[in-house]
């Protein structure tokens, strides 16, 4: 992890923040120049795949698990870390103030176009 002084901080610090680290993934198919994103089920907005990392996982493995669970994509060819941030936020789902060290990765996957084509036919 970078020195915390080098990481940008977002949100408003709140009392009694619970630490919950996580991250997100930008999923890209270089052959077809397409990105995969999710759609939020509550408001329909587009979003990156990601979430919290379990205690037994490293950050890269946890983000990969979240991407696979949320997108159905797998067999990634390459990964690189592209950003880190400290995020202060209120979790409505858990009714808790949270602080997360969030890491974002770029994942390359050659099957996005094929998968998206199959979903459109349904």
DSSP assignments along 23-62, one per residue: EEEEEEETTTTEEE-EE-TTT--EE-EEEE--TTS-HHHH
The number of domains in the chain is: 1
* Ordered per-residue pLDDT tens for the chain, 122 residues: 455 568 999 999 999 999 999 999 999 988 888 899 999 888 999 999 999 999 999 999 999 999 999 998 888 887 899 999 999 999 998 999 999 999 999 998 766 655 544 444 44
| Burial bucket for residue 27 (CB in 10 Å: 0-12, 13-18, 19+) | buried
Distance CA 51, CA 115 (A): 22
The SS3 assignment for 113 reads helix
Distance CA 2, CA 6 (A): 7
What's residue 4's pLDDT? Answer: 55
What's residue 2's pLDDT? Answer: 53
Distance CA 71, CA 51 (A): 13
Residues counted in the chain: 122
Residue located via tokens 């630490």: 19
The pTM score is 0.77
What's residue 77's pLDDT? Answer: 81
CATH of residue 40: 3.90.79.10
The candidate with the shortest Cα–Cα distance to 19, out of 71, 88, 66, 80, is 88
What's residue 121's pLDDT? Answer: 43
What domain range is 70 assigned to? 4-121
């Amino acid at each position: 992890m970078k020195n915390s002084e080098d990481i940008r901080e977002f949100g408003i610090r709140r009392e009694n923040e619970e630490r919950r680290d996580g991250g997100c993934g930008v999923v890209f198919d270089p052959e077809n120049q397409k990105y995969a994103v999710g759609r939020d089920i509550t408001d329909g907005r587009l979003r990156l795949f990601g979430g919290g990392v379990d205690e037994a996982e490293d950050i890269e493995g946890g983000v990969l698990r979240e991407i696979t669970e949320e997108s159905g994509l797998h067999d990634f060819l390459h990964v690189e870390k592209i950003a880190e941030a400290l995020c202060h936020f209120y979790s409505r789902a858990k009714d808790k103030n949270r602080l997360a060290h969030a890491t974002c990765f770029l994942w390359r996957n050659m099957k996005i176009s094929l998968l998206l084509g199959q979903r459109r036919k349904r």
